[in-house]
Amino acid sequence: MLRDVLTNRRLWVALLGFAFCLIFVARSGLSFNRHDDFSVHRARVLYVDNSRLSPDPAVENLYLGRQVLEIEILSGDFVGQRFRMENTLSRFFNIMARENMEMLFQLSTQDGQVVHITTFGHSRGNFMYVFLGLFALVLIVVGRKKGFYAVLSLIFTLSLVVFFMIPLILDGRNPVLLAIVVAALTAVFTFLLVGDTIMKSFAAIGGTITGVAIAGIVGIVAGRFAHISGLHLEHAQEVMHQGGMDIVIRLPLLLFAGIIIASLGAVMDVGMSISSSVFELKKLNEGLGFKELYKSGMNIGRDIIGTMTNTLILAFAGTSLTVLIIIALYELPYLRLINMDLLAVEVIQGVSASIGLVLTVPVTAFFAAFLAAGNFKMSKAA
């Protein structure tokens, strides 16, 4: 029993991943507890007067005007205190309050006293925890052990991005290299945790790392030919403003790092699908050699390419739907449209990621066929 535990590969991979997460969190230096004179607190809405609201004539179910609120503070230094305030509703800042609703309010203080209160937004913390918990529960109930491993993999990946990649980007490091490192570590952790055999996992890891690296390289080359500076990324100007002179962020490379991270999930899916298929074929027919296994892997990969490429392109288009609508509303002449910075960014993101995904197929098929055809032990992991 003890020997089985000590030789369980997944257990050691999970423990090692957990140790890495703790190290990343401890060394990140990130703080989410900023204190200033404009602190945000949770509060419950006790009373609402809507007498000065009127329906928006142009937007359905939208109200404009002012609400009079009575609120009770639920967090911070003013817990239990009640305040009366006005909540202004406009088309571009429309956070409507209702009685017994928990909301966030920004308190401006002076000499330890609240001098002004403004509405900050809805309180979504509890909902977020419940929603993420529901997602994890669905994964575990449907996927069982593999679902549990998927939850661990997701936690590991998010820890890498938030507590490893972002702090180093703020330290002036190369975002593209960091994204490739994150992709590599994620692939190694996930495939060793989920994969049934070591060789199958190694083939998927090799294909995934190669695929995301190609996506990043293609994005960089395309960005240079298209003269993309990175300043047209969403919130780019705010990043520069908040960073100031003390933090050097290599903003132009953030676009290409984003391509790598955004394509990672789809590339991992393709890598494991092809690797798993090749090894299953070898298990069913031990007489298959490298050439036959590679050809089968390529045939399987070609079937995957069509749908997965659509998945990536549509994912980028979906996140940029408002940009596409704005372009349509302006009714721009073709010459201006085809040369727009925003359109070039969207095209480079989608096409670069798709090229990386497509080229993952032959690379993974090669690795899987080579490893499956060799004299490697493919016994099922504990």
pLDDT 10s digits, 38-62: 688 899 999 999 989 898 887 888 8
pLDDT at 333: 81
Three-class SS state of 69: strand
Boundaries of every domain in the chain: 45-123, 153-373
Average pLDDT over residues 326-348: 78
CB-based contacts of 233-237 (< 8 A; 24+ apart in sequence): 233/258, 233/345
Range with the lowest mean pLDDT among 204-213, 275-284, 370-379? 370-379
Q: What pTM, to 2 d.p., does this model score?
A: 0.77
Q: In whole angstroms, what is the distance from residue 198 CA to residue 192 CA?
A: 7
pLDDT 10s digits, 267-306: 998 999 999 999 999 888 888 888 999 999 999 988 888 7
pLDDT 10s digits, 356-369: 989 999 999 999 99
pLDDT 10s digits, 112-154: 788 888 999 888 888 999 999 999 999 999 988 888 888 998 9
pLDDT at 379: 40
pLDDT at 70: 93
Q: In whole angstroms, what is the distance from residue 323 CA to residue 61 CA?
A: 24
Q: What tokens does 145 get?
A: 């052990």
Given a contact cutoff of 8 angstroms between Cβ atoms, the answer to whether 107 and 39 are in contact is yes
Q: In whole angstroms, what is the distance from residue 106 CA to residue 30 CA?
A: 22
